[in-house]
Amino acid sequence: MLNASQLCTDFIKKIENSKNLSFLTIYAYKSDLSDFIGFSDQLNIIDYVNNLRLVKKLKDTSIKRKLVTINMFYEYLLDKGLVDNNPISKLKFNFKKERKLPKTLTIKEVSKILEVIDRSLTETTSYFSVYIYTRNAAVMDLLITTGMRINELSSLKLEDIIYHDHTILIHGKGRKQRLIYISSQTTWDRFKNWLKIRKDMECNHTYVFTNRYHNRLSIYAIEDIYSKYKVQAKINNQSTPHYLRHTFATNLLSNGADIRSVQEILGHSSITTTQIYTEVTNKRKRQVLNKYNYRNKL
């Protein structure tokens, strides 16, 4: 393909201008196309897929995502008259229908995180440490209480806070917006404490959560904050901040919330995405009944 890299750049610019896609989605498209173009000058799709499966050992879900991107790219080239056909439209691949259950923390593990947060706040000595720990406490507690994604937390701006209603406006995937009510008074108080310290530090940045240089707190910094707390709390070392979102959703359903409400709270476009959490709750119910139901022993 002649000047494939330039065509890739033109394609990315087009979808950036025509679709409401998040930064992370655009980045994924760039990465997928760069990987595909870098594989071979001939851009043989079958060889490429075999390389992904046999050499790189990628899962079917990852390969399917890459093929979606490549298919969009060829449709773009076809529309511009740069190719005669879309080779992906003629190919069929056998993919496993794999549906993984969301990974969650136990209530006890979440409690341990909150205990570490409380302890860190009482052990602060310098003003700078108060600044850092107050911010970290607000970050962690908001993730626990709202189930928002870390990129949504990173994108939160001062103008998104509705103070009188204890509510924040979240900018989700595909630039969809949703309102989340902060139901825990402790979480709201920690959030306000951070905002007060932030104001005292004369931070003029529009983003709510900032680093020591008063720049926007990145998703990588949030992951690092979570990592430090999970080590101190001695909980599942494999866990990530996204476990908190899964834990939040699973417990809403376990405690009787209807699935439509949970869908809206999480910002899922489709209810089928939310339904996977019901499988987790059903699995836990079976475990409880197998272990504790007295009838099992009669």
Q: What are the tens digits of pLDDT across the range 105-146?
A: 999 999 999 999 999 888 777 878 888 999 999 999 999 999
Residue 170 pairs with which residues in a beta bridge?
Answer: 178
Of 65, 166, 173, 228, catalytic: 173
CA distance 145 to 123: 24
**Is 242 an active-site residue?**
yes
Instruction: Looking at the structure, tell me whether residues 86 and 113 fall in a common domain.
Output: no
Task: Tell me the CATH number at 16.
Answer: 1.10.150
Q: Which of 44, 64, 90 is the last residue of a domain?
A: 90
Q: Are 86 and 78 in contact (CB under 8 A)?
A: yes
Q: What is the number of structural domains in the chain?
A: 2
In a domain, residue 97? The reply is: no
Which residue type does 24 have?
L
Instruction: Looking at the structure, tell me whether residues 154 and 248 fall in a common domain.
Output: yes
Residue 104, token pair as written in the block: 């969650």
Q: What are the tens digits of pLDDT across the range 191-219?
A: 999 999 988 877 778 999 998 888 899 99
Of 149, 198, 216, 246, catalytic: 149
Instruction: Looking at the structure, tell me whether residues 65 and 177 fall in a common domain.
Output: no
Look-up of token digits 């870390």: 150
Instruction: Looking at the structure, tell me whether residues 167 and 31 fall in a common domain.
Output: no
Instruction: Looking at the structure, tell me whether residues 132 and 212 fall in a common domain.
Output: yes
Instruction: Tell me the average pLDDT across 72-89.
Output: 86
Residue 168 pairs with which residues in a beta bridge?
Answer: 161, 180
In a domain, residue 283? The reply is: yes
Residues in contact with 205: Cβ distance below 8 Å, sequence separation at least 6, in sequence order: 214, 215, 216
Q: Are 176 and 267 in contact (CB under 8 A)?
A: yes
**Is 245 an active-site residue?**
yes
Q: What are the tens digits of pLDDT across the range 143-183?
A: 999 999 999 999 999 999 999 999 999 998 877 899 999 99
**Is 173 an active-site residue?**
yes
Quote the domain boundaries for residue 53: 4-90
Sheet holding 161-162, edge to edge: 161-162, 167-171, 177-181
Give the pTM: 0.68
**Is 268 an active-site residue?**
yes
**Is 277 an active-site residue?**
yes
In a domain, residue 102? The reply is: no
